Amino acid sequence: MSESDPRPPRGGPSEGTEPDEPGATGRGSGAPAGQDPATEQRPGLGTGYARPGGPGVRWGDASDEEAPRSWAGAPFGGHVPASSPTTEAPAGQYPPGDGADYGWGRTPAAGGSSSSGSSSGPSSGPSSRGMTATPPGGFAADPGAGWGGAPAPDPHTGSAPDPDDTRPGFLDRVRSGGRDGAGAVGRTGLILVALVALVAGLIGGAIAGSLASGGSTSGTSLATSDSAGDPLPPPPAGSVEAIAATVLPSTVQILGAAGEGSGVVISPDGLIMTNNHVLAAGRGSGLQAVFSDGRVAPVTLVGAAPAADIAVVRASGMSGLQPAVLGDSDRLRQGQAVLAVGSPLGLQGTVTTGIVSAVQRPVAAGGSSSGADSTIDAIQTDAAINPGNSGGPLADSAGHVIGVNTAIASVPSGGGSGQEGGSIGLGFAIPVNQARRIATELVQTGRATQAIIGVQLANGGPRGATVANVTPGSPAATAGIAAGDLVTKVDNRVIEDANALVAAIQSSAPNQVVTLTVTSTGAAPRPVPVTLGSRVIGGR
């Protein structure tokens, strides 16, 4: 701070000292050793409070930067030392003042002095006190230094002041060292703070109310929007919403005394395709179909093919149903988005999403519990499938059914109970091309067939399927395949083991010609065309 700086020295507790310790400044005594705190001006902290019995607290400086100035040009909180001479302000100018008057009081004449509590000098008129009628941009000067009130007795002598004199300004009273200052700050400051808080609260409430009502005085924040009641726009093609809207009306819940499952509507008059193992839920009391519109109807068996885990039932007395659109499972690609719909754990109309994790995955389906060979060439998906999803649709992004949800891989639950847990992201579905062919046969002919080649396969061995025995007169025998041959491909599909060969053959149609890649002992691999035979695997 330069010597010409009109501000008093700043104060504050020194690092490592408490405010009330000797030698500390700012808080506490605020006076250096050897000085009376009650008679010394001390830098305040800007709190607006005064220590009882001590000097009033002024608006202290906050930094070494230039202090903010009043309308008169004097720094807020600044004052002129008592020994400093002051001069009369030129006519028509607002005098610098001493900070106590904010320039609204008086300026002693040349040779006079100014103190924090009173002043002396000529008092013949505004000119002699350095006042103008109205400061530029300020308030009119009045006997109360802009704050009103009658002249008060001199606090030091107790004598009445000159009637023509004015009452000390607000900061003069603050600087009166605890006599009038503390009361001025306490009473006037608290009143001002209360008024400001009240006005701020009213303004804030009005703004908040305006924002909550959208800038309108009518309505509340709980009012409905202008678009309430408008129909929702149609979902984008290919979105989960669009797929679900297409597939849900064609999905049913199948309930029985022993459990539940799901199914796919394949005709408007109530034909439903499902898994063969779902029929076990109706043991003892039959089955019911619950449709997406809430209608319920009893179902009767049309036909079942346990080895393929496919069955067809009919809901009695139904009409106007929405059949599912069946897609082409031969055109599936790994990574393609799919959606599973069904009633897992009895929760009707549940929709889950995922992708095609793999195709042509050999899986033993639920029909194996009856002793029938039910290895299927499954679609693997990570869409969540749980007990109750069986028989429900797996759909592509066009809403076409491309598979029948059939099985899940799971791990045993804890506690050694042996019970399996729910979905772990490994679900399997029967390709719809295989399911559609069998369901069509069951409806049209009352029986279902499956392709065969007439061989028995050995377990283990090298990569591929090793032929253990060949049935005389079978398609394999006719093609020249012998025991001990190793089948490594069916058309362009690599055969990893015996299950892969079974799944590849059974997913094909009877009488279809396939080419096997066969390796005989000591010979090079050779292609072998085979016309597949058939066997009956189910009926009414």
**Catalytic residue from among 98, 180, 309, 377:** 309
- Torsion sign over Cα 263, 404, 241, 421: positive
CA distances, 342 to each of 87, 259, 275 (Å):
96, 14, 12
Phi first, then psi: give them for residue 404, nearest 5 degrees: -115, 115
Spell 203-238 as b/e; 16+ CB within 10 A means b: eeeeeeeeeeeeeeeeeeeeeeeeeeeeeeeeeeee
Residue with tokens 């109360």: 144
SS (H, E, C) 27-59: CCCCCCCCCCCCCCCCCCCCCCCCCCCCCCCCC
Nearest to residue 537, comparing CAs of 365, 275, 306? 306
Which H helix or E strand runs over 502?
helix 498-506
Q: In whole angstroms, give the CA distance from residue 496 to residue 505.
A: 14
Q: In whole angstroms, give the CA distance from residue 29 to residue 42.
A: 9
3-state secondary structure of 298: strand
**Catalytic residue from among 343, 390, 423, 507:** 390
DSSP structure class, residue 303: E
Asked whether 66 and 79 are in contact (CB, 8 A), the reply is no
Q: In whole angstroms, give the CA distance from residue 406 to residue 413.
A: 21
Asked whether 159 and 177 are in contact (CB, 8 A), the reply is no
Specify the amino acid at residue 380.
Q
390 included as an active-site residue:
yes
Q: In whole angstroms, give the CA distance from residue 130 to residue 324.
A: 98
Asked whether 393 and 340 are in contact (CB, 8 A), the reply is yes
Angle at CA of residue 161, ends 157 and 165, nearest 5°: 140
180 included as an active-site residue:
no
Percentages (nearest 5) of helix, strand, coil residues in the chain: 20, 25, 60
3-state secondary structure of 329: helix
Nearest to residue 517, comparing CAs of 504, 526, 508, 506? 526
309 included as an active-site residue:
yes
Nearest to residue 308, comparing CAs of 533, 503, 540, 512? 503
**Catalytic residue from among 101, 277, 292, 357:** 277
Catalytic residues: 277, 309, 390
